[in-house]
Amino acid sequence: MKPDEAAKLQTYLQRWRAVNPYRWQQGAQVVADDLLQDVAFTDIRIAGLLESPGGATITQVVESVLPFPGNAEAAVMIEAIEIAAKQQTSGQLVGALVIGALVALILWGLFREG
């Protein structure tokens, strides 16, 4: 992950946590769903986070935002970001496949008529 993307994620998490200080108590899936609903989050290229060994980048960014890193909140937020990153990546893949299928259908229709 590029350092600027890590900085974007850090800034985003600082703002998100200020608005949602106790949302993490609802669990990682709820937080991940919230994150994926927010365009500011989905604009961050988080796929690279999944490539870091053991999610080290995710852990570092989350712990840099929290006053007490290593507590239950950190664990939930780390898991939520991992879930969101995986769902976002799989959603992008499905979107690319759908677009590819549509282009193939259009081309097939054009060449079939000719």
Q: Is 37 helix (H, G, I), strand (E, B) or coil?
A: helix
The full set of domain ranges for the chain reads 3-87
- At 49 the pLDDT is 60
Residue 109 has pLDDT above 80, yes or no: no
Q: Structure tokens of 31?
A: 């937080």
pLDDT in tens, 56-73: 688 888 999 988 867 899
- At 110 the pLDDT is 74
Q: How far is residue 97 from each of residues 23, 36, 101, measured CA to CA in Å?
A: 34, 20, 6
pLDDT in tens, 12-56: 999 999 999 999 999 999 999 999 999 899 888 877 666 665 556
- Tell me the pTM: 0.69
10 Å Cβ neighbour count for 64?
A: 13
What value does the mean pLDDT take over residues 67-92?
82
